[in-house]
Structure 1
Amino acid sequence: MKKQSIVIIETNIDNMNPELYPSVLERLMQAGALDAYLTPIIGKKGRPAMKLTLSCLKKQLSRVTEVVFRETTTIGLRITQADMHMLEREIKTLKTPYGDVRVKYSYLNGKIENATPEYEDCLRIARERKLPLKKIIDQVKKIVN
């Protein structure tokens, strides 16, 4: 298991066009965020709002905070230090009847704990073959197991 020091950044946003959120999340990931997500909340004065939460390595802090300030209407951030514990992982390419699919393996004490087909690969195959995405993911999981 790996342990890593990270920074968690949060802000509540109650005055932004919700159509902008997908772009904000995408740009945060491009800037180095490890994770970024939105949670619907009721903010001050009873207003519906979104809580933006993201995590990053400390060395990426200035890049991701700049994205938050440039891409959202927020004027302040809450920043917390945290430790993240992660399973060891690796990505292997698996040959399947549908084509190559990357599979992410995670390990606990040297043993496989999880094996997850890469979503983008399964989506590409589903589109190319005009098959349901669920079917492709299920079939790849059967091959993995």
Structure 2
Amino acid sequence: MSSEVYSYLYEKVLEEGALDIYTESIYMKKNRPSNKISILCNENDLEKFVELLLIETSTFGVRYHKYNRERLKRKFIKINTHYGDITVKLGYYKNKLIKATPEYEECKKIAKNKGIPLNQIFNIINCIINEEYKINLLT
């Protein structure tokens, strides 16, 4: 399958509501190199993604597994920075705030518009988050 298909497939799968998609380089029977496509989705979307893979890729079959998933409780807030308001995702475990991360797309937009490295934007916003929320994973 042409490598351009993967980029198209990633976009389409995410637009269709997949939780995530990734590929892995593997070897198939007779030591043939290949790529394994994994799509993480809700169970009620399984048929849609099986059909998508069968129609949009070179595969003749799809294997699937049901996985359990644990996730942090999430809350989204806006914080004010000198770049403007940024959405931050807060992650709670046992009702304790343990993670906070700025939204990637908003940071990317700022980096492009201001000509600042994305990593620098993340560092600045993470400093603000840590100062405001005093996130400490050790307690």
Structure 1 length-normalised TM: 0.85
Tell me the secondary structure at the aligned position of residue 45 of structure 1. helix
Distance 2:60 2:41 in 1: 19
Q: Indicate the structure with greater strand content.
A: 1
Q: Please show how residues 1-145 of structure 1 align to structure 2 within 5 Å.
A: 16-145=1-130
Say how many residue pairs are matched.
130
What one-letter code is carried by the residue in structure 2 that aligns with 1:110?
A: N
CA RMSD of aligned residues (A): 1.1
Q: 1:114: Cα distance to partner? A: 0.7
What one-letter code is carried by the residue in structure 2 that aligns with 1:111?
A: K
What one-letter code is carried by the residue in structure 1 that aligns with 2:46?
A: L
Q: 1:55: Cα distance to partner? A: 1.6
Aligned to 1:8: none
Tell me the secondary structure at the aligned position of residue 20 of structure 1. helix
Does structure 1 conserve the Cα–Cα contact (< 8 Å) formed by 2:23 and 2:38? yes
Find runs of 4+ consecutive structure 1 residues off by over 2 angstroms.
none
Distance 2:94 2:81 in 1: 28
Structure with the larger RCO, 1 or 2 (CA within 8 Å, 6+ apart): 1
How many percent of aligned residue pairs carry the same amino acid? Answer: 36
Distance 2:103 2:24 in 1: 25
Aligned to 2:134: none
What one-letter code is carried by the residue in structure 2 that aligns with 1:85?
A: E
Q: Which runs of 5+ in 1 are unaligned?
A: 1-15
Distance 1:64 1:143 in 2: 40
